[in-house]
Structure 1
Amino acid sequence: MTINQLIQQLIDEGNRLRMIKQEDEIYIRNRILSLLKLDTFSIEEKTEPFSTLNGSKVDEDLIIVELVESIVEYATREKLIDDYFDEKEIFSAKLIDCFLSRPSEVNEKFWQDYRQSPKKATDEFYHFSKLSNYIQMKRIKRNIFFQVPTEYGALDITINLSKPEKDPRQIALERSVPKEKEYPRCLLCIENEGYAGRIGHPARSNHRTIRIPMGEETWYFQYSPYVYYNEHCILLSEEHRKMKISRETFERLLRFVEQFPHYFMGSNADLPIVGGSILSHDHYQGGRYEFPMASAKSDYNFKLKQFPNISASTVKWPMSVIRLQSQDKDELVEASDFILNRWKEYSDPEIGIMAYSNNTPHNTITPIARRKGRDFEVDLVLRNNRTDEKHPLGIFHPHEDVHHIKKENIGLIEVMGLAVLPARLKDEVQEVEKYLRNEPNEIADYHLPWAMEIKNKYGTFHKNEIHKIIQNEIGMKFLKVLSDAGVFKRNEKGQKAFQKFISFLNK
């Protein structure tokens, strides 16, 4: 296809998807020509609708993406942009931005849809975020996903292949760029909306957010560019400030699920090791997905003396979870804040829980809010980030025997039962499978004890079973990861200690 044909196909596809109106066609074409430094255009012989690429059929949802990528390839060949990942991403986002409404128009449509139903509003905005390629659906489809049955229900496992690896030239270029720039201040700041991007900072020309009132503040609602589950969304503060779990956190989480009852909303913990990857900007994560932890049953029901109208229980889960239920949102806020403050000051040296080292705090909570019919439900996952000589990365953190599978922090998503595992595992696991089939292999040294353990566990097995066995064993490693992160272990000593803490709440 010629560049003129590609441009026209892109415009035709924008019309088909109702991203633009026919009256916009000439204006958008001229914007694209400007980006491509072209000053003429001729409507050539019509081509068939763009449905194949290199002989392969293109997913209808990805036609826009494929066309944009073809135009980016043209721009690279013509030396309009450098052949670096970030340069191509910036150009791609600018192309798609030609088809997108301004933030004010996107927000106006969202709240018009909301008046019909909250679900319609999020459905339409999610669809928009995929069409705009802000949600990187083509890359997300590369991820490997499977479930593994356990005594706590099925755990979700994903090997994250969606974030492309940067070539050495790109990495070297990033290192050469001065770091003093502070705009936007971080990847979550609202200043990213419409920001072109630069080397080392992602392209955001095609980024739009929804303004959500949260008491006296305005918060900003968007979807994650690399969604790990259905409608994986982010709610972020307008102010660039550090993560902090507080009474206001519970108020915001519950206010959000009151406005959007088909979504859950939760927060990473606010301390290093047990927190998420970005603690510099106050934000929450939610979506429309039933996580394994949400399906977990109550383990032990109890009453909170100060909050007699609230149903409270511990949860049958490898981590230590208190679940609160009530139709009274305000009382849930008070109860959650009460438990947070009690937990922050709680120590039990017999099981390694110390609230402070000198003046450094160690206890915090990972909270999750959702609706269950007319009830509001809050899960409070108790966390502690203390370290010692034996566990320098964290006592209640994945221990060394699981680092070959998962070494990173256990944040909100993992807490709820979805393992986000590194891309390296895709190839490494194939070498483990070869080892188990007694074939020539390049198994990594750090996987060898695990592979030998699997051989000893299963003895002889059919070669066709190996892939499924490896998946199940990865799931068992993730279960161990969650157990390591639990402050009250799922044994007699740990559960007695949990009961002791519950008694402390009622003193």
Structure 2
Amino acid sequence: MIQKSIRELVRYGLATGLVEPEDTIYTANRLLELFGLEELEDADTPITADKSEEAQLTGELESILKDMLDYAAQNGLLENNSVVYRDLFDTKIMSVLVARPSEIIRKFNTYYAQSPEAATEYFYKFSQDTDYIRRYRVCRDQKWIAHTKYGDLDITINLSKPEKDPKAIAAAKNAKQSGYPKCQLCVENEGYAGRVNHPARQNHRIIPITINGGQWGFQYSPYVYYNEHCIVFNSQHIPMKIEHNTFVKLFDFVKLFPHYMLGSNADLPIVGGSILSHDHFQGGHYEFPMAKAGVDKTFTVKGFEDVTAGIVNWPMSVIRISGPDSDRLIALADVILDKWRSYTDEEAFIYAETDGEPHNTITPIARKRGDNYELDLVLRNNITTEEHPMGVYHPHAKLHHIKKENIGLIEVMGLAVLPSRLDGEMAALEKAILEGADIRGDEVLGKHADWVEEFLPRYENVTADNIHEIIQTEIGQVFMEVLEDAGVYKRTAEGQAAFDRFTAVLNQ
């Protein structure tokens, strides 16, 4: 079986272009070494494959690796036969097929000379072919569109991140703490073998780029929440900070890759992303719901009459500025950021700081639209109260049964990344509703009882044919409320009047 799997994996490499025909025997021998084997059976039978077989072999990759991992487990090559250790080992397997970074960079630059689109198309496919992006896991994510008064929102339940088993969790707790790499965004991850508390990255490659005169890395997210979901990160491990240079870097990247958008998480806890310790951005070849939302009120800032500015029709508080000159957008963004950092409006419960702790920041997103550059500035505030200890402008407690995690860049733009627990919970909830079961008394489903009692009366007929669609629709409405909670200015007459007070300050 292992001999057949080795042949099939080499054939996969040939079909996808990861392995050149001249490297066929070399690659097979490397795999023999990895599995402690001394010879290739039927060596006189050549290993061949071409482009026409790519789709078939790509579809078989998961099963090929499964067979290899089963063999490794049976022959003592795995410390433990669980998903964490299997992931560490199958990444090592795939690394045999992956060229050194210098070769990938040369290929990327050759494609870039044709066009930026050709370069990213090549690198995105490569990142999937190497199994750095595990296609067969990503396709398990649940995805649907939710229709709301703000337009369509994207909803996903993330199922591509495997759950760690108890033994791996215990091993990670007892493992020696290492500072290398410092985090999962550091350049030192490229080619790293990983450990029980850090993912293997032998099949991972990074493209170096220069933005704002500094060295940065360009890669894709292994979990691809949307098309060509990329990460752009500082080559140095330094904290995130929203400042003038942030806007410069965003537009420098968009000029390199005009077909991509790029945004930054905010730089404060609660309203920031999961990794604030390493300066990075996220982008991709995707039009988010927020980008599709129109401006429902324009305003002019003195000295910037050449820049179009307005408030976006969106549940969060977004100022959109656009124009042909990115430097002018950056200059106006500096003004808006500076004013917002120090802005307090007690009537609207917006405080720039309390007890010396700053609260105001911005989530910025840059893109090219036709001949114009565009910058969305999402106003954020991380103040907490006794009533809302996780944040006043954070999903409120009544919504935590669906979403209680921080609202970062991706969610801000209208794509919900919901926890994997909801996959099983919603299936069980559908069954309980149809059977008229006691939801409130259920240990797992009880947290959804108030929600069900609120939305169920809106539907005259609930059947096995429509219950799934009903649940998806209502999850979409919850996510809309999540974004409304995160908005510092509510979409009410009072809230928009408060928003107007801030935009008026820009002219003072």
1:504 pairs with 2:502: no
Question: What is the aligned partner in structure 2 of residue 72 from structure 1?
Answer: 69
Residue pair 1:293, 1:317 contacting (<8 A) in 2 also: yes
Q: TM-score, normalised by structure 2?
A: 0.95
Question: What is the aligned partner in structure 2 of residue 334 from structure 1?
Answer: 331
1:230 pairs with 2:227: yes
* Equivalent residues in 2 for 1:16-415, closer than 5 Å: 16-43=15-42, 60-82=57-79, 83-179=81-177, 181-415=178-412
Q: CA deviation at 1:5?
A: 1.6
Q: Name the CA shift for 1:5/1:258 in 2 (closer, same or farther; >3 Å).
A: same
Partner of 1:490: helix, strand, or coil? coil
Cα deviation code 1:255-289 (max 9, x no counterpart): 11111111000000000000011111000000011
Amino acid at match of 1:446: K
> What is the alpha-carbon distance in structure 2 between the residues aligned to residue 45 and residue 37 of structure 1?
21
Partner of 1:133: helix, strand, or coil? coil
Residue pair 1:231, 1:289 contacting (<8 A) in 2 also: yes
Q: CA deviation at 1:335?
A: 0.9
Q: CA deviation at 1:377?
A: 0.3
> What is the alpha-carbon distance in structure 1 between the residues aligned to residue 289 and residue 56 of structure 2?
30
Moved more, 344-353 or 447-456: 447-456
1:480 pairs with 2:481: yes
Q: CA deviation at 1:460?
A: 4.1
Q: CA deviation at 1:77?
A: 1.0
> What is the alpha-carbon distance in structure 1 between the residues aligned to residue 277 and residue 105 of structure 2?
26
Query: Mind listing any 5+ residue stretches in structure 1 that lack a counterpart?
Result: 51-57
Residue pair 2:265, 2:408 contacting (<8 A) in 1 also: yes
Q: Name the CA shift for 1:446/1:46 in 2 (closer, same or farther; >3 Å).
A: farther
Q: Name the CA shift for 1:461/1:21 in 2 (closer, same or farther; >3 Å).
A: closer
Moved more, 61-70 or 125-134: 61-70
> What is the alpha-carbon distance in structure 2 between the residues aligned to residue 454 and residue 493 of structure 1?
27
Question: What is the aligned partner in structure 1 of residue 52 from structure 2?
Answer: none
Amino acid at match of 2:9: L
Residue pair 1:4, 1:43 contacting (<8 A) in 2 also: no
Residue pair 1:90, 1:205 contacting (<8 A) in 2 also: no
Residue pair 2:299, 2:310 contacting (<8 A) in 1 also: yes
Partner of 1:506: helix, strand, or coil? coil
Q: CA deviation at 1:487?
A: 0.4
Cα deviation code 1:373-410 (max 9, x no counterpart): 11000000000000011100000000011000000000
> What is the alpha-carbon distance in structure 1 between the residues aligned to residue 56 and residue 315 of structure 2?
40
> What is the alpha-carbon distance in structure 1 between the residues aligned to residue 461 and residue 372 of structure 2?
51
Partner of 1:455: helix, strand, or coil? helix
Amino acid at match of 1:10: L
Q: Report the count of equivalent residues.
A: 498
Residue pair 1:4, 1:44 contacting (<8 A) in 2 also: no
> What is the alpha-carbon distance in structure 2 between the residues aligned to residue 140 and residue 46 of structure 1?
35
> What is the alpha-carbon distance in structure 2 between the residues aligned to residue 93 and residue 355 of structure 1?
47
Query: Mind listing any 5+ residue stretches in structure 2 that lack a counterpart?
Result: 50-54
Residue pair 1:396, 1:484 contacting (<8 A) in 2 also: yes
Amino acid at match of 1:192: N
1:469 pairs with 2:470: yes
Q: Name the CA shift for 1:5/1:59 in 2 (closer, same or farther; >3 Å).
A: closer
Question: What is the aligned partner in structure 2 of residue 493 from structure 1?
Answer: 494
Q: CA deviation at 1:44?
A: 6.6
Q: CA deviation at 1:93?
A: 1.2
Q: CA deviation at 1:47?
A: 12
Residue pair 1:268, 1:367 contacting (<8 A) in 2 also: yes
> What is the alpha-carbon distance in structure 2 between the residues aligned to residue 130 and residue 396 of structure 1?
37
Amino acid at match of 1:323: R
Q: CA deviation at 1:439?
A: 4.5
Question: What is the aligned partner in structure 2 of residue 11 from structure 1?
Answer: 10
Amino acid at match of 2:385: D
Cα deviation code 1:120-146 (max 9, x no counterpart): 000000000000011121111111000
Amino acid at match of 2:143: F
Residue pair 2:261, 2:368 contacting (<8 A) in 1 also: yes
* Equivalent residues in 2 for 1:391-470, closer than 5 Å: 391-440=388-437, 442=442, 444-470=445-471
> What is the alpha-carbon distance in structure 2 between the residues aligned to residue 431 and residue 449 of structure 1?
16
Residue pair 1:344, 1:363 contacting (<8 A) in 2 also: yes
Amino acid at match of 1:78: N
RMSD of aligned alpha carbons: 1.7
> What is the alpha-carbon distance in structure 2 between the residues aligned to residue 141 and residue 164 of structure 1?
13
Amino acid at match of 1:482: L
Q: TM-score, normalised by structure 1?
A: 0.95
Q: Name the CA shift for 1:18/1:49 in 2 (closer, same or farther; >3 Å).
A: closer
Amino acid at match of 2:158: N
Partner of 1:309: helix, strand, or coil? coil
Partner of 1:323: helix, strand, or coil? strand
Runs (4 or more) in structure 1 with deviation over 3 Å come to 44-50, 439-443, 459-463
> What is the alpha-carbon distance in structure 2 between the residues aligned to residue 488 and residue 142 of structure 1?
36
> What is the alpha-carbon distance in structure 1 between the residues aligned to residue 114 and residue 462 of structure 2?
56
Residue pair 2:7, 2:47 contacting (<8 A) in 1 also: no
> What is the alpha-carbon distance in structure 2 between the residues aligned to residue 216 and residue 277 of structure 1?
26
> What is the alpha-carbon distance in structure 1 between the residues aligned to residue 397 and residue 460 of structure 2?
25
Q: CA deviation at 1:178?
A: 2.3
> What is the alpha-carbon distance in structure 2 between the residues aligned to residue 230 and residue 7 of structure 1?
31
Q: Name the CA shift for 1:102/1:45 in 2 (closer, same or farther; >3 Å).
A: closer
Q: Name the CA shift for 1:85/1:341 in 2 (closer, same or farther; >3 Å).
A: same
Partner of 1:307: helix, strand, or coil? coil
Amino acid at match of 2:445: A
> What is the alpha-carbon distance in structure 1 between the residues aligned to residue 66 and residue 333 of structure 2?
48
Partner of 2:466: helix, strand, or coil? helix
Q: CA deviation at 1:49?
A: 9.9
> What is the alpha-carbon distance in structure 2 between the residues aligned to residue 62 and residue 191 of structure 1?
31
> What is the alpha-carbon distance in structure 1 between the residues aligned to residue 43 and residue 21 of structure 2?
19
Report percent identity of matched pairs.
48
> What is the alpha-carbon distance in structure 2 between the residues aligned to residue 234 and residue 325 of structure 1?
24
